[in-house]
């Protein structure tokens, strides 16, 4: 258990915590949220002992093993595998002592150390480290490359892998998904759900928080406020408090009106696609949570160009790639006004290559690209921040685009992006990553594009800006192409998905849950392919089987069939349990959709419903995980039976 008792913390003139109380229990998974500068990183430093309370007490259990994700980017000559293994300090200590004992020919000590290594699971360490690297998107060849060969984003992935490798009771992760693609984000989500210790997570990815954490700690007004459930539950609970304030209520109604207008415009074609229906449901939920963001300083929009042609842009039989290396072959795509497309696909499959080819930054290896006379592109690249002039202010960046625009007009516009007063005149060199990203977004919005191509626009953006970006993209009237690991943004802004994989671009007929299933199937096929590559030629063996061996085969086959029956019964039982849990969740969500539940007299009932919702979600996840395990066991037995 970790306890903050009347803790006060001040950095310079900024008071971060003032007589704050908080109790966190072993095994909890906690999301830490709050405005930029509220003190999230400082709280991590308190836990790590790098800062100390000005007043009050912070109590940590004795012998607590803490692992945290380093933010600095190393330039080591060590291999990626060795760098990750370095995260297990105990393992490295045992290995050093083993080397010394071997050099001293101390056989007794060697025996003790090998037993200690076995108890520490040291013999499987390299395998576990390789699995971490694979899950985070590193190829088999990458694990032998030196750390300094990787780019900054990939080095941060190495820092994450190193933190996960370290045996710990408390895991501190600060924005772990910032440099991950969707595939790696989903893998990390699953890994963290299985983590047995306490997790404290700073993240601006609301779906990631919803799927991982059991509690939210919100730093607000120098206090630590604890909420049960994920980020969506936190929004509802906080919105309930804010909605009781009259001034806040007026802003809430304005925000809900914007969402309702979008739903009315979109509902007519909601039956055309599964993901469209999912998005409508998500928007309906947003009507309840919108008040949680009424105090947001961001209210920007993406206004489309006045003139629009159809089609705006066309690729025909295109080969996309670099020099003689073709990444995507025979790609045809027609973009017409109103198209809202999300790009899915494994890391390195060619999503960014396709976007660059659409923009025209990357010449086609072959094929045709046609753009209309009225095409106006707004492009947010993964490395957009590097293109900013660090010595120039946000106002000067806009002034260079439109020299005739008045300073007041630009100031009013930049105010919607949170650059108020003198902040609009300061050089961006001193800005945070999130502020620089807002400058880049403001430059795109100012130019009124009719085609928006956005490649991971949420990197560095906090939850409030992501919420504002979601609303801005919802109301955008032009064509949208979006690559993002933020599933909430994808669900709420795109109508259809394209799958970029295996050198092709194809329509993906499904939603993000279906895509997650597709990823699992691809991984299973890869593992099967690898196993077959090293397996002996079974057909040759069967040719030489004796009568006795064939009889033994039949016996084994019968034994396998007997083993299948209880597995199938267990699967049926779990399927019924999942169906019942989902029915109960639907009933709770229906109750939560009733606006009267948020009135003061129903406060206790609301808390009970939210608690039941969180518990049911956890039970449903556990049931689903058990179902998947049983299903995998069943498939493995069926495969063995087929081989016999």
Name the token pair of 379: 């492009």
Q: Closest Cα to residue 224, out of 59, 488, 19?
A: 19
Rank 237-251, 262-276, 282-296, 589-603 by mean pLDDT and report only the highest.
589-603
pLDDT in the model for residue 224: 93
Q: Give the pLDDT of residue 280.
A: 63
Residue 323 has pLDDT above 90, yes or no: no
What are the start-end ranges of the H helices in 378-432? 394-401, 407-415
More confident residue, 603 or 539: 603
A 10 A CB-CB count for 507 gives 10
Kindly report, residue by residue over 115-135, the tens digit of the pLDDT: 888 888 888 888 899 999 989
CA angle 200, 517, 326 (to 5 degrees): 100
Q: How confident is the model at residue 140 (pLDDT cuts 50, 70, 90)?
A: confident
| Nearest by Cα to 258 from 223, 220, 296, 232 | 296
pLDDT for 340 beyond 70: yes
Instruction: Determine whether 457 is exposed, middle or buried from the number of CB atoms within 10 Å of its CB (0-12, 13-18, 19+).
Output: buried
Read off the pLDDT of each residue in 292-319 and give the average, rounded to a whole number: 83
| Homologous superfamily of the 1-65+168-242 domain (CATH) | P-loop containing nucleotide triphosphate hydrolases (3.40.50.300)
Q: Residue 522: what are its φ and ψ, rounded to 5°?
A: -60, -40
Q: What's the rounded Cα separation, in Å, for the pair 201 and 76?
A: 27
Instruction: Report how far Cα 482 is from the mean position of its chain's Cα atoms.
Output: 15
Band of pLDDT at residue 543, cut at 50, 70 and 90: very low
| Least confident among 15-29, 100-114, 545-559 | 545-559
Q: With a cut of 80, say whether residue 503 has pLDDT above it.
A: yes
CA distance 300 to 416: 5
Strands (E), 255-324: 313-322
Looking at per-residue pLDDT, the higher value among 74 and 478 belongs to 478
Using the predicted structure, report yes or no on whether residue 642 has a pLDDT greater than 60. no
Residue 275 has pLDDT above 70, yes or no: no
pLDDT at 201 over 60: yes
User: pTM score > 0.85 for this model?
Assistant: no
Identify the top-confidence range among 65-74, 207-216, 525-534.
207-216
pLDDT at 602 over 50: yes
Pairing between strand 215-220 and 29-34? parallel
Do residues 318 and 368 lie in contact, with contact meaning Cβ atoms separated by under 8 Å? yes
**Mean of pLDDT values over 248-269:** 62
* pLDDT averaged over every residue in the chain: 83
Closest CA to 344 of 518, 137, 478: 518
Structure token pair of residue 298: 């961001």
Selected residue with higher pLDDT from 334 and 561: 334
| DSSP 8-state class, residue 221 | T
More confident residue, 275 or 596: 596
Query: What separation in angstroms does the CA of 599 have from each of 53, 235, 290, 307, 637?
Result: 38, 16, 16, 47, 54
Per-residue confidence band for 39, with pLDDT thresholds at 50, 70 and 90: confident
Taken in order 471, 283, 477, 265, the sign of the CA dihedral is: negative
Report, as an integer, the average pLDDT of 161-180: 91
- The predicted pLDDT at position 3 comes to 93
Scored b (16 or more CB within 10 A) or e, 277-310 reads ebbbeebebbbbbbbbbbebebbbebbbbeebee
Candidate from 99-108, 379-388, 596-605 with smallest mean pLDDT:
596-605
Q: How far apart are CA 215 and CA 610, in angstroms?
A: 12
The answer for residues whose C-beta is within 8 angstroms of residue 350's C-beta and 6 or more apart is 320, 327, 328, 500, 503, 505
Return the DSSP state at 601: G
Q: What is the pLDDT of residue 538?
A: 44
Confidence of residue 539 (pLDDT cuts 50, 70, 90): very low
What separation in angstroms does the CA of 272 have from each of 157, 278, 482, 495? 38, 11, 20, 9
State pLDDT tens for residues 424-453: 999 999 888 888 999 999 999 999 999 999
CA–CA separation, 424 vs 395, rounded Å? 6
* The pLDDT of residue 384 is above 90: no
Residue 404 has pLDDT above 70, yes or no: yes
Check residue 235 and give its pLDDT. 86
**pLDDT score for 334:** 93
Q: How many helices (H) and strands (E) does the chain have?
A: 21, 18
pLDDT at 504: 92
pLDDT higher than 70, residue 548: no
Cβ proximity of 290 and 259 under 8 Å: yes
Long-range contacts of 258-267 (CB under 8 A, 24+ apart): 258/471, 258/475, 259/283, 259/286, 259/287, 259/290, 259/471, 259/474, 260/287, 262/474, 262/475
Phi, psi of 321 (to 5 degrees): 175, -160
Contact indicator for 630, 567 with CB cutoff of 8 Å: yes
Report the candidate in 490, 422, 445, 443 with the shortest Cα–Cα distance to residue 300. 445
Q: What is the pLDDT of residues 55-109, one digit of tens each?
A: 999 999 988 999 998 877 777 888 999 999 998 988 989 889 888 888 888 888 8
pLDDT value, residue 413: 92
């Amino acid at each position: 258990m970790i306890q903050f008792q009347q803790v006060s913390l001040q950095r310079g003139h900024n008071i971060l915590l003032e007589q704050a109380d908080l109790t966190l229990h072993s095994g909890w998974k906690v999301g830490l949220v709050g405005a930029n500068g509220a003190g999230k990183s400082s709280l991590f430093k308190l836990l790590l002992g790098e800062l100390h309370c000005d007043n009050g007490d912070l109590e940590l259990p004795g012998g607590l093993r803490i692992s945290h994700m380093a933010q600095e980017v190393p330039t080591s000559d060590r291999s990626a595998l060795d760098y990750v293994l370095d995260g297990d300090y105990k393992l490295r200590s045992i290995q050093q002592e083993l080397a010394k004992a071997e050099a001293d020919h101390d056989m007794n000590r060697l025996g003790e150390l090998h037993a200690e290594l076995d108890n520490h699971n040291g013999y499987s360490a390299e395998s576990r480290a390789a699995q971490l690297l694979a899950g985070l998107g590193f190829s088999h060849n990458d694990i032998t490359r030196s750390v300094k060969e990787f780019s900054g984003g990939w080095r941060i992935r190495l820092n994450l892998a190193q933190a996960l490798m370290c045996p710990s009771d408390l895991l501190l992760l600060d924005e772990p998904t910032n440099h991950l693609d969707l595939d790696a984000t989903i893998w990390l989500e699953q890994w963290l759900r299985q983590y047995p210790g306490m997790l404290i997570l700073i993240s601006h990815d609301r779906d990631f928080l919803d799927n991982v954490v059991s509690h939210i700690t919100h730093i607000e007004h120098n206090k630590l406020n604890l909420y049960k459930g994920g980020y969506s539950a936190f929004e509802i609970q906080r919105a309930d408090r804010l909605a009781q304030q009259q001034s806040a209520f007026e802003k809430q109604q304005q925000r809900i009106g914007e969402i309702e207008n979008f739903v009315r415009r979109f509902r007519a074609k909601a039956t055309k696609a599964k993901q469209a229906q999912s998005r409508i449901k998500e928007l309906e939920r947003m009507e309840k949570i919108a008040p949680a963001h009424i105090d947001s300083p961001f209210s920007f929009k993406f206004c489309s160009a006045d003139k629009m042609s159809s089609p705006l842009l066309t690729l025909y039989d295109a080969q996309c790639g670099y020099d003689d290396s073709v990444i995507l072959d025979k790609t045809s795509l027609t973009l017409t006004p109103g198209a809202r497309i999300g790009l899915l696909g494994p890391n390195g499959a060619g999503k960014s290559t396709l976007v660059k080819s659409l923009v025209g930054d990357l010449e086609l290896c072959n094929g045709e690209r046609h753009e209309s006379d009225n095409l106006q592109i707004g492009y947010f690249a993964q490395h957009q921040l590097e293109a900013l002039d660090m010595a120039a202010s946000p106002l000067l960046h806009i002034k260079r685009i439109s020299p005739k625009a008045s300073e007041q007009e630009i100031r009013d516009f930049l105010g919607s992006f949170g650059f108020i007063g003198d902040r609009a005149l300061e050089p961006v060199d001193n800005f945070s990553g999130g502020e620089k990203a807002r400058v880049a977004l403001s430059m795109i919005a100012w130019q009124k594009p009719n085609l928006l191509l956005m490649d991971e626009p949420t990197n560095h953006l906090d939850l409030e800006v992501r919420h504002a970006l979601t609303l801005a993209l919802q109301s955008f009237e032009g064509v949208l192409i979006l690559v993002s690991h933020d599933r909430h943004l994808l669900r709420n802004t795109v109508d259809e998905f394209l799958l970029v994989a295996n050198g092709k671009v194809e329509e993906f007929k499904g939603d993000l849950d279906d895509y997650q299933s597709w990823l699992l199937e691809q991984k299973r096929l890869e593992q099967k392919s690898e196993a077959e590559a090293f397996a002996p030629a079974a057909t040759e063996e069967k040719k030489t089987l004796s009568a006795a061996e064939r009889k033994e085969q039949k016996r084994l086959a019968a034994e396998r069939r007997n083993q299948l029956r209880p597995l199938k019964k267990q699967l049926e039982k779990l399927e019924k349990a999942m169906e019942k849990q989902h029915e109960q969740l639907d009933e709770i969500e229906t109750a939560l959709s009733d606006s009267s539940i948020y009135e003061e007299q129903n406060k206790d009932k609301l808390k009970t419903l939210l608690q039941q919702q969180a518990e049911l979600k956890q039970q449903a996840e556990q049931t689903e995980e058990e179902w998947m395990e049983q299903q995998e066991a069943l498939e493995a037995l069926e495969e063995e039976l087929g081989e016999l």
